[in-house]
């Protein structure tokens, strides 16, 4: 499947999941909802693998890696992010999670020796400036106290676990382990881990049979987990961590657009400026280096040509002046 298509799917789906998550918060404990989400997603993936005759039997060493992959990306990550939102607003959570781009870039350097280019730094800087600008009104109203620092700490830690899960997914693919099979086992282990966390905390596993809860759960399981994670983790291996991770900065932009359509969100100058920075950063990060180089060479060539013409013009002018004398 085309990389651009995979990127668009990832951004659009994960940019819209915030609506579904809102319907998950209520009578059912967040930990239980995460168990339901990834447990259902795992069952769907196992059925898909069975239908496509993809391997599901692996060595003990592979299962240990699947467990670490699932616990970090589908367990600790979501548990800490949900916990963070009990202490800080969603704007700060979004900004802190956007740092996954830099975590992924540095982790890829440590784990796989991937080089970090100036293009990545520049695009990431534009993106983070855009995120901060987009949510500046909410940030400006936030008081920096122990509660806020705790929430930010939980969020950044959760993001670090998510980045570690990304690196483990890349290792799975480098070992030629089928992506869908690895995701199926990872989500199963992640849901089991979250079930243990819920039991230790004494949380109940009640269920909400309302249309809003069930439909949002299906959306998060099928689209937000099976499809979006499949696209995102495929891109990690195809185009690299830095380009794929910028999708996390694009999510708020999509969320704002959706909110405008369904909730009559009112735009401000901060909204316009923030989205502009995010889009510019996206273009910088996703631009092909050879195109940037070609553009640079073209500019240099143009400058050299102009300089040469200027020198020739000066020489001709001096010749005419000499002849006139």
Q: For the chain, how far is it from start to end, CA to CA, in angstroms? A: 73
16 or 300, which is more confident:
16
184-186-189-192 Cα dihedral, nearest 10 degrees = -70
245 or 79, which is more confident:
79
In angstroms, the CA 252 to CA 16 distance is: 9
- The per-residue pLDDT for 137 is 78
pTM: 0.80
Q: Residue 19: is its pLDDT beyond 60?
A: yes
Task: Compute and round to an integer the Cα radius of gyration of the chain.
Answer: 24
Share in percent of the chain as helix, strand, coil (round to 5):
80, 0, 20
Q: Residue 321: is its pLDDT beyond 70?
A: no
Q: Residue 320: is its pLDDT beyond 50?
A: no
**Pick from 4-8, 221-225, 287-291: least confident:** 287-291
Place of tokens 């202490």: 87
Report pLDDT digits (tens) over 183-237: 999 999 999 999 999 999 999 999 999 999 999 999 999 999 999 999 999 998 8
Helices assigned H by DSSP within 52-99: 60-71, 77-84, 90-97
Report pLDDT digits (tens) over 258-279: 777 776 777 888 888 988 998 8
Confidence of residue 41 (pLDDT cuts 50, 70, 90): very high
The two tokens of residue 171 are 């290792």
Q: Residue 313: is its pLDDT beyond 60?
A: no
**Residue 157: which H helix or E strand, with range?**
helix 146-174
What is the overall mean pLDDT for the chain?
Answer: 83
- The per-residue pLDDT for 119 is 83
Report pLDDT digits (tens) over 58-73: 999 999 999 999 999 9
Confidence of residue 311 (pLDDT cuts 50, 70, 90): very low
The two tokens of residue 40 are 């259902």
- The per-residue pLDDT for 161 is 94
- The per-residue pLDDT for 296 is 45
Question: Running DSSP on this structure, what letter comes out for residue 144?
Answer: -
Mean pLDDT for 22-44 is 91
In angstroms, the CA 204 to CA 195 distance is: 10
Confidence of residue 89 (pLDDT cuts 50, 70, 90): low
Report pLDDT digits (tens) over 136-191: 877 777 676 778 888 888 988 999 999 999 999 999 999 999 999 999 999 999 99
- The per-residue pLDDT for 290 is 55
């Amino acid at each position: 499947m085309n990389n651009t298509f995979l990127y668009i799917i990832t951004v659009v789906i994960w940019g819209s999941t915030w609506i579904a998550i809102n319907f998950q918060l209520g009578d059912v404990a967040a930990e239980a909802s995460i168990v339901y989400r990834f447990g259902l997603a795992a069952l769907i993936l196992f059925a898909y693998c069975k239908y496509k005759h993809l391997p599901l039997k692996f060595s003990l060493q592979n299962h240990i890696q699947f467990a670490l992959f699932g616990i970090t990306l589908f367990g600790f990550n979501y548990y800490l992010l949900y916990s963070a939102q009990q202490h800080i607003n969603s704007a700060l959570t979004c900004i802190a999670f956007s740092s996954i781009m830099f975590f992924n870039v540095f982790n890829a350097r440590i784990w796989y020796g991937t080089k970090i280019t100036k293009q990545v730094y520049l695009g990431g800087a534009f993106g983070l400036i855009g995120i901060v600008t987009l949510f500046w009104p909410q940030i400006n109203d936030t008081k920096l106290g122990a509660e806020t620092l705790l929430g930010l700490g939980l969020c950044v830690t959760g993001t670090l676990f998510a980045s570690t899960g990304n690196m483990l997914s890349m290792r799975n693919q480098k070992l030629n382990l089928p992506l869908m099979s690895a995701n199926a086992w990872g989500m199963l282990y992640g849901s089991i881990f979250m079930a243990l966390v819920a039991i230790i905390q004494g949380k109940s596993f009640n269920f909400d049979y309302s249309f809003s809860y069930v439909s949002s759960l299906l959306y998060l399981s099928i689209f937000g987990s099976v499809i979006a994670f499949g696209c995102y983790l495929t891109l990690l291996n195809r185009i690299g961590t830095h380009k794929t991770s910028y999708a996390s900065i694009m999510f708020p932009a999509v969320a704002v657009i959706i909110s405008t359509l369904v909730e009559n969100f009112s735009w401000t100058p901060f909204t316009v400026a923030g989205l502009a920075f995010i889009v510019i950063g996206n273009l910088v990060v996703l631009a092909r280096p050879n195109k940037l180089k070609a553009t640079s060479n073209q500019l240099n060539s143009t400058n050299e040509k102009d300089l040469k013409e200027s020198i020739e013009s000066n020489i001709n002018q001096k010749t005419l002046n000499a002849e006139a004398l």
